[in-house]
Copies of this chain bind each other. A is one copy, B any other.
Amino acid sequence: MQVLLSGAAGFIGSHLVDRLLQDGHRVLGVDNFITGDAVNLAHLTGAANWSFVQADATSNDFVARMTDLGPFDLVLHLASLASPKDYLAYPLETLESGSTATRNMLEIALRFEARFLITSTSECYGDPLEHPQRESYWGNVNPIGPRSCYDESKRFAEAITMAYHRKYGLRTNIARIFNTYGPRMKLDDGRVVPAFLSQALGAKPLTVFGDGTQTRSFCFVDDMVEGLCRLMLSDEREPVNLGNPQEITLLEFAERIQRMLGTSSPLEFHPLPENDPTRRQPDISKAKRTLSWEPKVNLESGLATTVAYFQGRLAAH
């Protein structure tokens, strides 16, 4: 198939490109490099079936430009400023990525009658009052808080995706992605996995926000890519949670990393940012049922791979 993928130089985007090429598809990747990194695509230079265009999916000429480069069978909208550090620095770009960029990618899919998939987020559930979160849960999001540029942008993206599906019968898919980790995360993206790992590897204190009893569930990127590949060909039109249901407190996670790296970096506690969710765990029974998918990589093995990547990146600096 011919695939258009936005956010190709991002963490999950670049892994998905690798997988689609492995599976024999032709892929055109686009990225505006606001948060994407060309390093993530460097290994593909000259690869068969692969091409790349630097472009901003929010620009006025984007639909026309991409239409000239079509046709496409699959349009995948992964472009997003996914880390709090990034979206708080670029709130307007974040809002545009959910609104204008999503509309543009949907328009391209519509022109070619292509399948469309958007990576939404567990942040649509906000600070959830239901636990674990099922897809039927409507969420608890502060529409005017500092994080709303991300959360509401993604909720808008889901709404417009469903509107295109309802109005035009477009075959759309919505993945609600929970915390994902692995190689190619940015060392300094502010999220807990790269933060703890780069702190531990640098023999610095591990920064814990709040008292560390808040939970997260971490999905290794290979599992996430597998889930996305199954979802993009499925007949499910409503959102599907993709993530690892294994829940762990930040304190347990910090200790796990200390043990794994044999370090004794102390923990340093900081105040919890506003509206930071206290619990987050996917209910993935829908993904199991409709996609026969569940995560296979355990935290120990996924972290080992990730540590090796971070050690390589830090050594290269």
Contact = CB atoms under 8 A, between A and B. Distances in A.
A29 interface: no
A100 interface: yes
A138 B149 contact: no
Contacts of A160: 92, 95, 149
Nearest to A88: B166
Nearest to A60: B60
Contacts of A156: 95, 98-99, 152-153, 155-156
A30 interface: no
B152 A155 contact: yes
A170 to B, nearest CB: 12
Contacts of A146: 166
Nearest to A165: B144
A238 interface: yes
Given A141-B138, A143-B138, A163 B91 contact: yes
Interface in A105-158: 124, 126, 138-144, 146, 148-149, 151-153, 155-156, 158
A155 B164 CA distance: 19
Nearest to A167: B91
Contact of A162 (B138, B140, B148): B148
Given A100-B99, A100-B100, A167-B91, A142 B153 contact: no
A13 interface: no
A60 B62 CA distance: 13
Contacts of A99: 95, 99-100, 156
Interface string A59-103: 010000000000000000000000000000001100110111001
B152 A126 contact: no
A221 interface: no
Contact of A142 (B138, B151, B166): B138
A80 B246 CA distance: 44
A155 B138 CA distance: 14
Contact of A143 (B60, B148, B159): B159
The residue among A141, A143, A149, A151 with the most chain B CB atoms within 10 A of its own CB is A143
B95 A159 contact: yes
**7 nearest A-B pairs in the assembled complex, by CB-CB distance:** A152-B159, A99-B99, A148-B159, A91-B163, A156-B156, A143-B155, A144-B162
6 contacts: A95-B103, A124-B143, A138-B141, A152-B159, A153-B156, A155-B156
